[in-house]
């Protein structure tokens, strides 16, 4: 039984905190959203001031600036930790940022595991995430109780922070491109008389399929844009990819094209919808009515 | 036992002709490449003049102009068929072209099945292709012996030619985009310290995976560009997609970006290499050495 804090009780963080509780740990939940904290306390979590003997802190916030604020800002958590504790950085961030966080934690004797997550809210809740992790052996060892409670698969990507975030950026590049490409292909098919349900039925069994196509295209067929993963994720995550790529003088034309489609979706006011709503950009441009539309 | 002609004994057509032989049919093989014809005759096929009572003609050539020449050019095969025979059009062609072929065949009492294929040379050889087919009930019935001999899966996409080719175009859009996106992500990862073998190991188990990634990325890891499917396929097939899209006033920015990368690969002299060689465009642009390169 270990003392763990989970900072950020959104759809991913709440599930991870619950998974840690279920594994028998003492878990503190922190979020600006008091309703999420109250719900977590009702489920058996703690919300009082963080104890002095925290063993692990999982940071499940939106991005790098939020991660830095949580760790090193006013009332930052690292100052409250004792040497030997571990911070797990779960947000999608640039690799260089993860290396910087690790160095600043190490300066005060705190381990840092670069640990971006993949799998969605349902797998967070069931403790079956995939985690792309890198860090020192000591960081992995200290983080083990959290990894055991939250992950079905831990990819161990090396002994230095940054490698985990690099792999996450690679994954997000493909995931974002595949969602937009699915939308492009589905709507292109509509112009040729291919019905969206037939598209899913056939292409999911052919060489043109992808994990994202099989996961997201049914949302379009159902006309259901309840946000399991929001459009707004992609200007953020593809933005990280394109920023890193620019710094590396790496030309990424397909990622850049997909980015424009997500930006157009956000510009149409669809940022809070499920990311399959990028299909509405194509439909509007081509004068098509998607399922559920008039 | 049915009399079948297979026109085009390339990697796909030879396998399909062999599958028809194996199913017990009398099969005539036609190709300008006499070595392929000789090999087919050694395997039990026929090469003499086509008989007057051909039941089915499978056309497995490169594109629409070749299909039209084979069917209606000088010495075209349709003129030799008797009413009730069926032509199977297997090349990737625009849907409007397939509709035109069907109408011209119908004018002389010949059935036409719009029947693009998917699956690669190995599945052609084993008789386990996927076929995206549309046509009249009579065309399907007449083509049944060929479909039974060559396909593991036949998607029945409607009672008119064109629907099969439309679905094939949708599949090729995604397949081409996914190959180029895989190459973009793999090389982007290299700039961030992600080794190509680690890329395949991790991403193939994550949300960023695709059928094409799992099939093609190992070629890059192995440094083996033996052409199982050539770079040259994609300027052709994505060209068909973009031509159809333009005619429909459909904006397809991701497909267009992928197209440029395949054109650059062809321009670099890589047209005859495996299509995974599109990664060399990215590697050259970013100054990276792929596996097997110095």
Nearest 10 degrees: CA dihedral of A39, A42, A44, A50? 60
Same domain? For A17 and A134 the reply is yes
Whether the CB-CB separation of A29 and A46 falls below 8 Å is answered with: yes
Q: Compute φ and ψ for B155, nearest 5 degrees.
A: -85, 120
Count of domains forming chain A:
2
Kindly report, residue by residue over B216-230, the tens digit of the pLDDT.
Answer: 999 999 999 999 889
**B1 pLDDT exceeds 80?**
yes
Kindly report, residue by residue over A68-110, the tens digit of the pLDDT.
Answer: 999 999 999 999 999 999 999 999 999 999 999 999 999 999 9
Same domain? For A120 and A186 the reply is no
Asked whether residue A291 is domain-assigned, the answer is no
Residues from chain A contacting residue B260 (CB–CB below 8 Å): 253
Q: Which residues contact A61 (CB under 8 A, 6 or more apart)?
A: A7, A8, A13, A67, A70, A91
pLDDT value for B228 = 85
SS3 letters for A141-177?
Answer: HHHHHHHHHHEEEEEECCCCCCHHHHHHHHHHHHHHH
**Residue B176 belongs to what H/E stretch?**
helix B163-191
Kindly report, residue by residue over A174-196, the tens digit of the pLDDT.
Answer: 999 999 999 999 999 999 999 99
Whether the CB-CB separation of B20 and B60 falls below 8 Å is answered with: no
Which CATH number goes with the domain that contains A221? 1.10.1040.10
Determine the Cα–Cα distance for residues A159 and A104; give it in Å rounded to an integer.
16
Residues from chain B contacting residue A133 (CB–CB below 8 Å): none
β-bridge pairing A117-118 and A129-133:
antiparallel
**A153 pLDDT exceeds 80?**
yes
Determine the Cα–Cα distance for residues A220 and A226; give it in Å rounded to an integer.
11
Asked whether residue B30 is domain-assigned, the answer is yes
Asked whether residue B294 is domain-assigned, the answer is no
Whether the CB-CB separation of B85 and B117 falls below 8 Å is answered with: no
Same domain? For A121 and A234 the reply is no
Last residue of a domain, one of B141, B159, B177: B159
Mean pLDDT of B115-121: 92
Say which of B168, B198, B205, B249 is annotated catalytic: B168
How many CB contacts within 8 angstroms connect chain A with chain B? 238
Q: What is the chain A residue with the closest CA to B154?
A: A202
Kindly report, residue by residue over B133-145, the tens digit of the pLDDT.
Answer: 999 999 999 999 9
Which CATH number goes with the domain that contains A46? 3.40.50.720
Determine the Cα–Cα distance for residues A71 and A59; give it in Å rounded to an integer.
8
Cβ contact, residue pair A170, B254, below 8 Å: no
> What percent of chain B shows pLDDT beyond 70?
100
Partner residue facing B203 (CB), from A171, A184, A198: A171
Kindly report, residue by residue over B29-63, the tens digit of the pLDDT.
Answer: 999 999 999 999 999 999 989 999 999 999 999 99
Structure tokens at A49: 């001031």
Q: How far is B258 from chain A (nearest CA, A)?
A: 6
Last residue of a domain, one of A114, A136, A160: A160
**A138 pLDDT exceeds 90?**
yes
Residues from chain A contacting residue B275 (CB–CB below 8 Å): none
Asked whether residue B61 is domain-assigned, the answer is yes
Last residue of a domain, one of B101, B133, B159: B159
Supply the mean pLDDT for chain B.
Answer: 97
In chain A, alpha helices (H): 11-22, 34-42, 64-72, 95-106, 121-126, 137-150, 163-191, 196-203, 211-222, 233-247, 253-267, 279-286
pLDDT value for A36 = 97
Q: Among residues A38, A37, A102, A46, which one has the least CA distance to residue A71?
A: A102
Residues from chain B contacting residue A249 (CB–CB below 8 Å): 286
Q: How far is A237 from chain B (nearest CA, A)?
A: 13
Mean pLDDT of A136-148: 98
| The residue to which tokens 């004792």 are assigned | A82
Same domain? For B32 and B47 the reply is yes
- Neighbouring CB atoms inside 10 A of A284's CB total 14
Partner residue facing A209 (CB), from B198, B206, B210: B210
Same domain? For A256 and A124 the reply is no
Asked whether residue B34 is domain-assigned, the answer is yes
Q: What pLDDT band is residue A261 in, cutting at 50, 70 and 90?
A: very high
Q: What pLDDT band is residue A38 in, cutting at 50, 70 and 90?
A: very high
Same domain? For A211 and A105 the reply is no
Complex prediction ipTM: 0.93
Asked whether residue B242 is domain-assigned, the answer is yes
Supply the mean pLDDT for chain A.
Answer: 97
**A294 pLDDT exceeds 80?**
no
Same domain? For A89 and A156 the reply is yes
**CA-atom Rg of chain B in angstroms:** 20
Kindly report, residue by residue over B77-117, the tens digit of the pLDDT.
Answer: 999 999 999 999 999 999 999 999 999 999 999 999 999 99
Same domain? For B107 and B235 the reply is no
Cβ contact, residue pair A166, B194, below 8 Å: yes
Same domain? For B10 and B153 the reply is yes
Q: How far is A38 from chain B (nearest CA, A)?
A: 32
Kindly report, residue by residue over B255-269, the tens digit of the pLDDT.
Answer: 999 999 999 999 999
Asked whether residue B208 is domain-assigned, the answer is yes
Kindly report, residue by residue over A209-247, the tens digit of the pLDDT.
Answer: 999 999 999 999 999 999 988 999 999 999 999 999 999
What domain range includes position B52?
3-159
**B204 pLDDT exceeds 80?**
yes
**A142 pLDDT exceeds 80?**
yes
Helix (DSSP H) and strand (DSSP E) numbers for chain B: 12, 8
Residues from chain A contacting residue B211 (CB–CB below 8 Å): 206-210
Q: Is A168 a catalytic residue?
A: yes
Cβ contact, residue pair B254, A177, below 8 Å: yes
Same domain? For B234 and B143 the reply is no
Same domain? For B176 and B250 the reply is yes
Whether the CB-CB separation of A111 and A136 falls below 8 Å is answered with: yes
Mean pLDDT of B164-193: 98
Asked whether residue A293 is domain-assigned, the answer is no
Same domain? For A143 and A169 the reply is no
């Amino acid at each position: 039984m270990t003392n763990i804090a989970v900072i950020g009780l959104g759809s991913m963080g709440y599930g991870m905190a619950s998974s840690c509780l279920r594994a028998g740990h003492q878990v503190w939940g922190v979020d600006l959203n008091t309703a999420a904290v109250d719900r977590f306390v009702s489920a058996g979590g703690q919300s009082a001031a963080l104890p002095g003997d925290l063993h692990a802190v999982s940071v499940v916030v939106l991005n790098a600036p939020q991660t830095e604020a949580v760790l090193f800002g006013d009332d930052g958590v690292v100052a409250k930790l004792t040497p030997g504790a571990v911070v797990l950085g779960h947000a999608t961030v640039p690799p260089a940022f993860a290396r910087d966080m690790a160095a600043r934690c190490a300066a005060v004797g705190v381990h840092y595991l670069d640990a971006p997550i993949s799998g969605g809210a349902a797998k967070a809740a069931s403790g079956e995430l995939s985690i792309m992790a890198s860090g020192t052996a000591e960081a992995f060892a200290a983080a083990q109780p959290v990894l055991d409670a939250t992950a079905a698969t831990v990819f161990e990507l090396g002994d230095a922070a940054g490698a985990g975030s690099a792999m996450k950026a690679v994954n997000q590049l493909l995931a974002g491109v595949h969602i937009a490409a699915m939308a492009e292909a589905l709507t292109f098919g509509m112009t040729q008389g291919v019905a969206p349900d037939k598209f899913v039925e056939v292409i999911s069994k052919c060489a043109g399929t992808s994990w994202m196509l099989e996961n997201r295209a049914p949302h379009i067929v159902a006309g259901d844009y309840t946000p399991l993963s929001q459009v707004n994720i992609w200007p953020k995550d593809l933005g990280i990819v394109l920023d890193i790529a620019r710094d590396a003088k790496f030309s990424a034309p397909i990622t850049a094209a997909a980015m424009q489609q997500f930006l157009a979706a956000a510009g149409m006011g669809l940022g809070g919808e499920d990311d399959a709503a990028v299909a509405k950009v194509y439909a509007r441009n081509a004068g098509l009515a998607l399922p559920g539309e008039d």
